[in-house]
Amino acid sequence: MNLEASTQQLSYIANQASDARVNIELETEGMTLNLGPQHPATHGTLRIIVRLDGEQVVSAEPVMGYMHRGYEKLTEVRTYPQVTTLVNRIDWLGSFANEVPFILAAERLMEVEAPPRAQWIRTALFELSRIANVVLFLGDMAVQLGATTPVFYAFRDREFVLNQIESVTGGRFHPNFDRIGGIKDDLPKGWIQETKDVLSRIHSFCDEMEDLVVGNEIFQTRTRGIGIIPADTGLAYGLSGANIRSSGVDWDLRRDGGVGLIHDQLDWKVWTHPDGDSFARYWVRLQEVRESCKMVSQILDGIPSGPIMAKVPRIIKVPPGEAYVETENPLGIMGYYIISKGDLVPYRVKIRSASFNNVSITPWVLKGVYVPDVISILASLYFILGDIDR
């Protein structure tokens, strides 16, 4: 590191020390409580400054950026194939799903289309990564509410899904498998049968969670009626995914978006819940895992044969233009707005990540709740730090 860079580095650290003292003026009777950045409830490094009156939240102010890694700038200095390596790491639980909208946007600009088999495999992996993602939520929400055991089951069964993803892509966590014009490799031998076994495991996991968590009276009292988000408020804040569907908005891009994936050829159902509370969000996600399992098994049965790559040049240059593609990712709507000037690198990539919008409602929804409910609401909104801070 040269001198200039290291000076900048050190000054950042020094500056940050003072920034950590961000104090919201308003010295009332209440107490200011910091949840985060080192706090088990915030899934990592989100920081929420809650002002309390007794145990009631007067105001909540999320402070982010503890995980800000500068994706949008870095994409401007990476070639298109290199960008997928980066964006993998945005929502790190369902990594493959992050690549898909980017690749689709690039494909739209290049006016290529992946062959059907590639699209089917993409969709299968897309849904598998949703399972890998949401399964963990199902356990983690319970652990946030104090039940220690479900998260262990979640990790146990998630391992099998990761195995399947790994055996196709070679990457257990960050596959980096999607390519402009198709996918990198074909399915390995025997994968389809193994995946079916895994799906039945996930099914039984869902049943287990239904018994252990959803059916638990304490869980219900802790989540029902807590953190109610009305549909219009949720939409105005840009909530998406299961968060908005559990407020009764029947909107799923997999059905309504109609881009590049083959969800419209499958038989499945969009679940909504009218309540809009923490319980609804948990319940809708639980159903969505089941729907995903259903989708994957249909894909496994109907996967067409054929090539997996369309004809694309070896060095990818994307023609000038702008395109925005969004898909229904595990956390909600994820979209990439790509501006190309015909180079090897995108001119600008705007990453619309789901959690950023989902969490932006927290100051609104946390007002007036109790400290324990803060946890329940944060857990049920289900965010991933990389997806907020990018």
Partner 1 sequence: MSSPDTKAEEIVEDPIESQEELIIDETRNAFVTSIATDLGSDFIDSHVVPEIDVWIRVTQEAWLETAKILFEKHEMSFFNFLSAIDWMPSPFGREMDAAIDNLDDEVSVETEMEWGITGGEKRFQLLARVHNPVTNLGVNVKADLEGDFPEVETWTPVYPGANWHEREVMEMFGISFKNHPNMVNLYLPTEFEGHPLRKDFPLLSRRAKPWPGIVDVELMPGEDDDDTEESGEET
Partner 2 sequence: MGLVENGKLPGPLTKLLNISRKYSLWVYQWGLACCAIEMGAAFASPRYDVMRLGVIPFPASPRQADLVVISGTVTDKMAPAVRRLYEQMPEPKYVISMGSCANCGGPYWDSYSVTKGVDQIIPVDVYVPGCPPRPEALLEGIVLLQERIASEDMTDRWNRDPIVVT
Partner 3 sequence: MSEFLRNWLTVLIFGGVGILLVSVFLGLGSLLRPSRDTPQKRINYESGVDPQGDMWSQANIRYYVFALMFVLFDVEAVFIFPWAARLEVYGLFGLVEMFIFIFILALGLLYAWRKRLLRWV
Which residues in this chain contact partner 2 in the complex, by CB under 8 A? 1, 9-10, 12-13, 16-17, 19-20, 37-40, 44-45, 65-70, 73-74, 77, 85-86, 89, 92-93, 136, 151-152, 155-156, 158-159, 172-174, 385-386
Residue 79 contact among partner 1, partner 3, partner 2, none, beta carbon within 5 to 8 Å by kind: partner 1
Residue 215 CA to residue 286 CA, distance in Å, equals 12
Residue 294 contact among partner 1, partner 3, partner 2, none, beta carbon within 5 to 8 Å by kind: none
Three-class secondary structure of residue 201 per DSSP: helix
Residue 105 CA to residue 322 CA, distance in Å, equals 9
Residues 208-227 that bind partner 1 (CB under 8 A): none
Q: Residues 35, 83, 261, 359: which binds partner 3 (CB under 8 A)?
A: 35
Residue 152 contact among partner 3, partner 1, partner 2, none, beta carbon within 5 to 8 Å by kind: partner 2
Residue 54 contact among partner 3, partner 2, partner 1, none, beta carbon within 5 to 8 Å by kind: partner 3
Stretch that binds partner 1, among 42-50, 66-74, 218-226, 378-386 (CB under 8 A): 66-74
Residue 23 contact among partner 1, partner 3, partner 2, none, beta carbon within 5 to 8 Å by kind: partner 3
Per the structure block, which two tokens stand in for 335?
């979209």
**Strand 178-179 to strand 56-63: parallel, antiparallel, or no bridges (unpaired)?**
unpaired
Residue 207 contact among partner 2, partner 3, partner 1, none, beta carbon within 5 to 8 Å by kind: none
Under rule CB under 8 A, residue 59 binds partner 3: no
Under rule CB under 8 A, residue 385 binds partner 3: no
Indicate the residue type of 288.
E
Residue 155 CA to residue 132 CA, distance in Å, equals 9
Under rule CB under 8 A, residue 260 binds partner 3: no
Q: Which residues pair with 338 in a beta bridge?
A: 323, 349
Per the structure block, which two tokens stand in for 307?
């090539």
In sequence order, the 6+-apart residues with CB closer than 8 A to the CB of 362 are: 48, 60, 62, 377, 378, 381
Backbone angles phi, psi at 352, to 5 degrees: -95, 100
Closest CA relative to residue 261, chosen from 353, 333, 327, 175: 327
Per the structure block, which two tokens stand in for 98?
């992050």
Residue 232 contact among partner 3, partner 1, partner 2, none, beta carbon within 5 to 8 Å by kind: partner 1
Q: Is 5 or 267 the residue whose CB approaches partner 2 more closely?
A: 5
Cis peptide, bond prior to residue 319, ω within 30 of zero: no
Q: How many CB atoms lie within 10 A of CB 359?
A: 25
Residue 251 contact among partner 2, partner 3, partner 1, none, beta carbon within 5 to 8 Å by kind: partner 1
Residues 26-55 that bind partner 1 (CB under 8 A): none
Under rule CB under 8 A, residue 367 binds partner 1: no
As a three-state string, the secondary structure of 95-147 is HHHHHHHHHHHHHHHHCCCCCHHHHHHHHHHHHHHHHHHHHHHHHHHHHHCCC
Q: Residues 16, 28, 204, 220: which binds partner 1 (CB under 8 A)?
A: 16
Under rule CB under 8 A, residue 27 binds partner 3: yes
Three-class secondary structure of residue 351 per DSSP: strand
Q: Is 251 or 370 the residue whose CB approaches partner 1 more closely?
A: 251
Which positions lie near partner 3, rule CB under 8 A? Answer: 20-21, 23, 27, 29-32, 34-39, 47, 49, 54-55, 370
